[in-house]
Amino acid sequence: MKKGLSALVLGILLFSGACLMAAEEQKSPEEYDEDTYGPLAPIIWEKPVKSVIFEHKNHTQGAGLECDSCHDELFPMEAGASAEKEDFTMQTLYDGGYCGACHDGETAFASNTRCTTCHIGVRGHARLSGNAPAAEGHGAKE
């Protein structure tokens, strides 16, 4: 009797363990490979205006672009290098430069539409970095 009970308990334990393992395994094929898809952490530009987001994940894993679709012709790989250039402006994008190469209204939504998709602003940036929106300073509610 006692033996039967412990076998049953052991069986349940093993079964639930297996279930968990299976769940883990299902997750793994979707794992993000930074070597294939680029850095997982979003790129945030603070120049020329605060704060603009770019996520490699949406463009590579999501939209199926290759690294060399954008690097190095449209964007140098070096972090923050584009922001130092004088022509890193919306006007250049409208003329087909940088993001505007695809965000032209045909390949992807046009650069002069859906502003806040990329322009997450000071508040969006604060939320990403874990700070409450405008936690201190102007406009904060006591």
Q: Is 115 in the site for other proteins (CB under 8 A)?
A: yes
Work out which of 42, 43, 50, 92 binds other proteins, going by CB under 8 A: 50
76 touches other proteins (CB under 8 A): no
Alpha-carbon distance of 49 to 125, in angstroms, equals 12
Closest among 122, 55, 54, 48 to 90, alpha carbons compared: 48
**By CB under 8 A, residue 120 contacts other proteins:** yes
Name the amino acid, one letter, at 52: V
- Tokens representing 101 are 């190469």
Q: Which stretch binds other proteins (CB under 8 A): 5-13, 35-43, 74-82, 108-116?
A: 108-116
Is 140 a binding residue for other proteins by CB under 8 A? The answer is yes
| Contact flag: residue 29 with other proteins (CB under 8 A) | no
Side chain identity at 3, as an amino acid letter?
A: K
Amino acid in the structure at residue 31: E
Per DSSP, helices labelled H in 58-131 are 67-70, 90-94, 115-118, 121-128
Residue 111 in contact with other proteins, rule: CB under 8 A: no
Under the criterion CB under 8 A, does residue 119 sit at the interface with other proteins?
yes
> How is residue 54 annotated by DSSP?
E
- Interface residue with other proteins, options 6, 26, 116, 129 (CB under 8 A): 116
Q: How far is CA 53 from CA 17, 47, 87, 113, in A?
A: 40, 11, 18, 15
Q: Does 97 bind other proteins (CB under 8 A)?
A: no
- Which range touches other proteins (CB under 8 A), out of 25-33, 65-73, 91-99, 110-118? 110-118
What residue ranges bind other proteins (CB under 8 A)?
A: 48-51, 114-117, 119-124, 133, 136-140
